[in-house]
Amino acid sequence: MSFSLEIKRELTRIDNSHINCMHYELSGMLRAGISLKTHQGRKRLLFVTENASLSRHLFSRVKDLYQSSPELIMLKTRRFHNHNVYMLEFSELLNQDMQSFLNKMGISINETEAQIQYYPIEISDKCCVRAYLRGCFLATGSISDPDRSYHLEVSFANELLAEEYINCLKVFDVEAKQIKRKRYFVVYLKEGQDIVDFLNVIGAHNALMKMENIRIIKDVRNQVNRLVNCETANLEKTVNASLRHVDSIRYINCTIGIEALPGALREIASLRLENPDKSLSELGKMLNPNLSKSGVNHRLKKIDKIADELRLKGQ
């Protein structure tokens, strides 16, 4: 089951007995999800979904709130990979009562042009804003698998609806962006924290916890990878420095001999040759008296400088 389907199944099970909230959730589903088509002279007002629980939820909402029952049709189609497709048809309800019902949703039907027209709706209570956001997401929302990436979007056939949705999200300090994709206006979120906040707003708390757990695991993995990369880089730096020091010391030994070095440099040169895998700090602790890391580095740099000077002289 996809993460989107998990969330929508959870949302349809929310026990909401507040009439106004139920109304705005239904309004969100219809404003985002219905389409009007004319076929053989007959207008067909449809809500189409592959989600069985969503189709039942929408059917129940309409029946409970407005004592009207859209026709529920189940089809199998290759277009949806032989999945069941559920069509809720409101065509038989396109009468005066249905027009009044749609008007309450901020929807009007232009029968002459066979178009759906939308106009702004006002939502005063925060709980109803949550319900409206939830309804739109149920209709056309989707979210990527958080194990792979963070992306949530809700699409609308009308720019007014997209802008309205963005403004509703701002009520909860969630900043969404909008993009035009073919004939749809898509509102989207790409930051993990924004998506978590959105799930909290619409009441998908189980999905929220699942995503938070995934985010924590991914964050720990990223931290471990950064530490490993850092350690690897430091180790590589240490190895390269050690090889350079050993090469300089051997060159000096083959030319003027280590014995020609001052006592302090001779001592550290011998230790480095005997312990090429030791860090500067470890070399410093092997000296008597002990020498700091910077002190060891200073002496080895002097040895490198002497070796470079000998190379320039061709010795």
> Tens digits of per-residue pLDDT, 166-196?
999 999 999 999 999 989 999 999 999 999 9
The whole-model pTM stands at 0.72
Q: Where are the CATH 3.10.28.10 domain residues in the chain?
A: 3-203
CATH architecture of the domain formed by 3-203: Roll (3.10)
pLDDT at 165: 96
The model's pLDDT over 291-311, given as tens digits with 9 standing for 90+, comes to 999 999 999 999 999 988 888
Q: How far is CA 5 from each of CA 10, 137, 229, rounded to the nearest angstrom?
A: 8, 11, 37
The model's pLDDT over 15-40, given as tens digits with 9 standing for 90+, comes to 877 888 998 999 999 999 988 776 55
Is the Cβ–Cβ distance between 279 and 242 less than 8 Å? no
The CA distance from 167 to 180, in Å, is: 17
The CA distance from 83 to 203, in Å, is: 28
Q: How far is CA 117 from each of CA 145, 194, 310, rounded to the nearest angstrom?
A: 34, 31, 87
The CA distance from 113 to 142, in Å, is: 31
Q: What sections of the chain are H helices per DSSP?
A: 3-12, 19-33, 52-66, 96-104, 126-140, 159-170, 192-202, 205-255, 263-274, 280-286, 293-313
Residue 89 banded pLDDT, cuts 50, 70, 90: confident
pLDDT at 79: 61
Structure tokens at 19: 């009439």
In the β-sheet with 42-49, what is the strand arrangement from edge to edge? 34-39, 42-49, 83-89, 71-77
CB atoms within 10 A of CB 14: 15
